[in-house]
Amino acid sequence: MDVNNMKELIIIEAINGIVKIYGIDRNVAKEIVNQSGIDHSIEIAPELVMHASIEQLVDMIIEPEEISDISNKH
Tell me the pLDDT tens digit for each residue of 16-33: 999 999 999 999 999 999
* Most distant CA pair in the chain, distance: 39
Is 15 inside a domain boundary?
A: yes
Is 67 inside a domain boundary?
A: no
- Quick one: DSSP state of residue 51? T
**Contact by Cβ (8 Å): 74, 28:** yes
Is 24 inside a domain boundary?
A: yes
For the entire predicted model, the pTM comes to: 0.84
Is 38 inside a domain boundary?
A: yes
- Give the domain extent around 41: 3-62
Is 72 inside a domain boundary?
A: no
Give the pLDDT mean for 35-46. 90
Q: How many domains does the chain have?
A: 1
Query: Residue 25: what pLDDT?
Result: 94
Q: How far apart are CA 5 and CA 50, in angstroms?
A: 11
